[in-house]
Amino acid sequence: MAAEIKDANFEELLKGNERVVVDFWAPWCGPCKQIAPYVEELAEKYAGQMLVGKCDIDENPELPSRYGVRNIPTILFIKNGEVVDKHVGAVPKNKLEEKFEAFLAK
């Protein structure tokens, strides 16, 4: 299951994990709902290799602002505190999984 990422717990999660994937979403966003099951599946598949979490932009405005998130869904791939990749918009599960695999190889 994907972790719940909030403005308040993000720094702590970054310190404890070398690789972090953050899905910025909102409950009213159709494309976000479309990829949500994929993000959950990949969170389980890659558990122990990376932290996968979801950040509701309506409840946590600081993080999207900090990372310049203007459209959702936006998925950031963060390694050692630095954004190394980003995906904006809905995508088929196999394409999202390719992004996760490439992130793991970095």
- Token match 């990949």: residue? 42
Cα Rg of the chain, angstroms: 12
Can you state the angle between helices 30-45 and 93-105, rounded to 10 degrees? 50
Catalytic residue among 5, 20, 21, 29: 29
Our answer to whether residue 32 is catalytic in this structure is yes
Our answer to whether residue 55 is catalytic in this structure is no
Give the Cβ contact number of residue 81 at 10 Å. Answer: 11
Catalytic residue among 2, 21, 32, 78: 32
DSSP summary character for residue 64: H
Q: What is the four-CA torsion angle of 36, 38, 42, 44, rounded to 10 degrees? A: 70
Q: Which residues are catalytic?
A: 29, 32
